[in-house]
Amino acid sequence: MLIQFKTKNYKSYLEEVVFTMVASKDTLHKTHLIKTGNDDVLKVCSIFGPNASGKTNLLDAINFLKFFINYSSNSKVGDKIIRFPHKLTSDENTEFEIIFIKENVKYVYGVKYNDTYISEEYLYYYKERENIIFERKKQKINNGKFTSFKGIDKKTLENKLYLSTLAEWTSNEHIKNIIEYFRNDLIILLNFSNPRYRDYTEDTIIKSIEVKEEIINIFEKLGVSLSDIIVEKTRSKIEDYKGLPVDFPEEFKVEFSYPLESVQKKVELVRESGDLNMVVNLNQESQGVQKIFKIVGLLLDVIKGGKTILIDELEVSFHPMVIDSILRLFIDNKKLNSQIIFTTHNLGLLDLELLRRDEIWFVEMGNKFSSRMYSLWNIKGVRKDENIKNAYINGRYGSLPNIERLVNG
């Protein structure tokens, strides 16, 4: 479960920004909250803002930290560290900090680094009080009470995360929890054109009839009535003759070629209307239905697994009522702590009948070409019964494109 994320000097975020899922004192929609010790945490969060304001960059920053942790172990001596600093402060550190809960334990992980070395890195866990797992200042590392980490600091290059090194050399339960969280519990969708999303749904349906029924049920909740989903997968081998001479004898090509496997899939939705059923190939369905199919497998995995999913521009190809229904899947999920965070231009979601004031965030480009973030809750004087859509359109909350400038050049 994501609690909070901070970043500084990453792409358009020059100054430090803090994005939090910790609930405010807003009394609206208390069913939207997850109880976690002393804090309530939000199930849903929306992020609004004009194009080029930095909305996507927030999700991208979280995605990059995930990548950094998973692949830092591949760094070799002298390798430059991949990073994307703000253009005005490329010589300063990039910073990330994330707070999350895994296996009922709250963790805080942070890192500061430049092109060549990690300048600071830290990891804490909370059970009644703060406990140090490790603290790092350049190559000086304090492991707290974790004596089993002794000697692993010597294996850690200056351009390599200590967390990633620990994951290679220890079976410590906290380290395993953290790596598991970044690999499997934090799902980030920045590009819906990725074919792996559809593949995931198809494979999920093939593996389990029970899961297929759950997916059909989600389609129903999203306004698409189905009685069945048919996924057929066929495999065939292709002989690769690439690289062999044109005049090479046909009878020897099989012996010297490389067999490749081709996989074809056919997906059909059995539409239901009263007593009538109609079989439709998924490729002939609307873009909206195809997009639902792409992400429904992941949505089910997130909801059942109590995970967090971040989606860029959720509304693309979706009817507004479908988006409402997707959010309701998370809000109504009382058993598991699943969360959805998304960027959007859909002004229909600016409705306090649907979302709390702390579930609505804005991003705008400020001074020095730097993105800044703030929630509706942080804006003074927003009433519970306010028409926030009209207020936003009229510029009361900021985070709007300068329409006059766009029109007049």
pLDDT 10s digits, 45-66: 999 999 999 999 999 999 999 9
Q: Is 206 part of a structural domain of the chain?
A: yes
> Does residue 171 share a domain with residue 41?
yes
> Does residue 385 share a domain with residue 353?
yes
- Size (the chain), residues: 409
Locate 50 and state its tokens: 């004009």
> Does residue 163 share a domain with residue 300?
no
> Does residue 69 share a domain with residue 86?
yes
Query: Which of helix, strand or coil describes residue 147?
Result: helix
Q: Is 330 part of a structural domain of the chain?
A: no
> Does residue 20 share a domain with residue 90?
yes
Burial of 231 (0-12, 13-18, 19+ CB in 10 A): middle
> Does residue 266 share a domain with residue 150?
no
- Expressed as residue numbers, the domain containing 283 is 195-304
Contact 322, 222 (CB under 8 A): yes
Q: Is 409 part of a structural domain of the chain?
A: no
> Does residue 256 share a domain with residue 117?
no
Q: Is 333 part of a structural domain of the chain?
A: no
- Among the candidates 255, 283, 304, a domain finishes at 304
> Does residue 38 share a domain with residue 12?
yes
Number of domains comprising the chain? 2
Contact 377, 24 (CB under 8 A): yes
> Does residue 215 share a domain with residue 172?
no
End-to-end CA distance of the chain: 44
Q: Is 309 part of a structural domain of the chain?
A: no
Locate 146 and state its tokens: 């974790």
Interval 239-290: pLDDT, tens: 555 655 666 565 555 555 555 566 788 999 999 888 888 999 999 999 899 9
Q: Is 399 part of a structural domain of the chain?
A: no
Average model confidence (pLDDT) across the chain: 91
Q: Is 319 part of a structural domain of the chain?
A: no
How big is the CA angle at 304 (ends 303 and 306), to the nearest 5 degrees?
Answer: 65
Is the pLDDT score of 341 beyond 80?
yes
- Among the candidates 304, 331, 361, a domain finishes at 304
> Does residue 253 share a domain with residue 212?
yes
Locate 284 and state its tokens: 């002939």
User: What pLDDT does residue 123 have?
Assistant: 98
How big is the CA angle at 310 (ends 43 and 176), to the nearest 5 degrees?
Answer: 85
pLDDT interval class at 5 (50, 70, 90): very high
Q: Is 401 part of a structural domain of the chain?
A: no
> Does residue 242 share a domain with residue 173?
no
